[in-house]
A and B are shown apart, each in its own frame.
Chain A
Amino acid sequence: MRPENEARVFFTAVSENESFARLFAAGFFSQLDPTVSEITDIKTAVSEAVTNAIIHGYERREGMVELYCAYQERKVYIEVADQGRGIEDVAQAREPLYTSKPELERSGMGFTIMETFMENMRVESVVGEGTRVYMEKTLSEE
């Protein structure tokens, strides 16, 4: 079943586009009149997923990131995907404070923040093919 409203954007995997991705998601979901706190949760989760795609998926090589936003009534769906290197051990990557790139001063909190700020988060990853993160959140009633 198709959601009542959806939007999809593809953009170059460069850090300049992290703020663009946040604004895209915030703009799309503003149609649901979310609270300031809800919109900040969404922006933060999107920022984490997109940053992971850029830093870990493509390791700063060329590539495109896909951001999909949709909603059905008050339920928000977000997907962030890359066609980068993939994650060998998703369970380990999801552990709080685990980072494969401590030399870049990464905190290892990305997945934990996505899990905390959204309601559901699922990661599908195939080594050599890429990663897709699915997130859902139900917004409070208007």
Chain B
Amino acid sequence: MELRFTKRNQTLIAHISGEIDHHTSGELRLKIDRALEQISGKNIIFCFREVTFMDSSGIGMMIGRYKQIQSLGGRVAIACASPKVADIIALSGLGRLLPDYDELKAALAYVEGREAE
């Protein structure tokens, strides 16, 4: 698993590549929390474009980040999930909390409150 970050205004974009499981989700959690603090971020986008595998550990990790962001009054979204990852998200009901967009641009519009764009 590899992780890099980009930032736009108060939004942290976590570009994850490789596999998300119980083993890698702990590291993801730590690094994302630290990066969010560093930029004083309010929103998170999980960019899944290069994710090759995810199990329910990824759901737990995203719910944890969602709860934090909620307390900051921000928003969380998912971008570019594969069909199988989208299935897992739908199954868990996570999509109601963290909408899943085909494009990063649309996810950004959502977290920044510009849905109508």
Closest partner residue, chain B, to A51 (CB atom) = B22
Chain A residues with a Cβ under 8 A of chain B: 15-16, 18-19, 22, 37, 40-41, 43-44, 47-48, 51, 54-55, 96-97, 104-110, 112-113, 116
* B 16-28 to A, binary, CB cutoff 8 A, 1 in contact else 0: 0001011101100
Shortest Cβ distance from residue A96 to the other chain B in the assembled complex, whole angstroms: 8
Other A-B pairs, 17, CB within 8 Å; known A43-B53, A112-B92: A15-B22, A22-B21, A22-B53, A37-B83, A41-B84, A44-B84, A51-B21, A51-B56, A105-B25, A105-B29, A106-B56, A106-B57, A107-B56, A109-B92, A113-B56, A113-B88, A113-B91
Report the nearest A residue to B57, measured CB to CB. Answer: A51
List, sorted by A's number, 23 A–B pairs whose CB atoms are closer than 8 Å: A15-B22, A22-B21, A37-B84, A40-B53, A43-B53, A44-B53, A47-B53, A48-B56, A51-B56, A54-B22, A97-B93, A105-B29, A105-B64, A106-B56, A107-B56, A107-B57, A107-B59, A107-B60, A108-B56, A109-B92, A110-B55, A113-B91, A116-B87
When A and B form their complex, which 9 residue pairs have the shortest distance between CB atoms, in order from nearest? A15-B23, A107-B59, A109-B56, A107-B60, A105-B64, A105-B60, A47-B55, A51-B22, A107-B56
In the bound complex, residues from chain A placing their C-beta under 8 Å from that of B69 are none
**Residue of A96, A107, A116 contacting most chain B CB atoms (<10 Å):** A107
How far, in whole Å, are A43 and B88 apart by their CA atoms in the complex? 13
Q: Which residue of B lies closest to A14 (CB)?
A: B23
Known: A40-B84, A107-B63. A18 touches B53 (CB 8 A): no
Q: Which residues of B contact A108 (CB under 8 A)?
A: 56
In the assembled complex, B80 has its CB within 8 A of some CB on chain A: no
Query: How many angstroms from the CA of A105 to the CA of B67 in the assembled complex?
Result: 11
**A96→B29 CA distance, assembly (Å):** 23
B interface secondary structure, majority? helix
CA distance A55 to B55 in the complex (A): 14
CA distance A43 to B92 in the complex (A): 18
B106 within 8 A of A: no
Check A104–B60 contact: CB distance below 8 A: yes
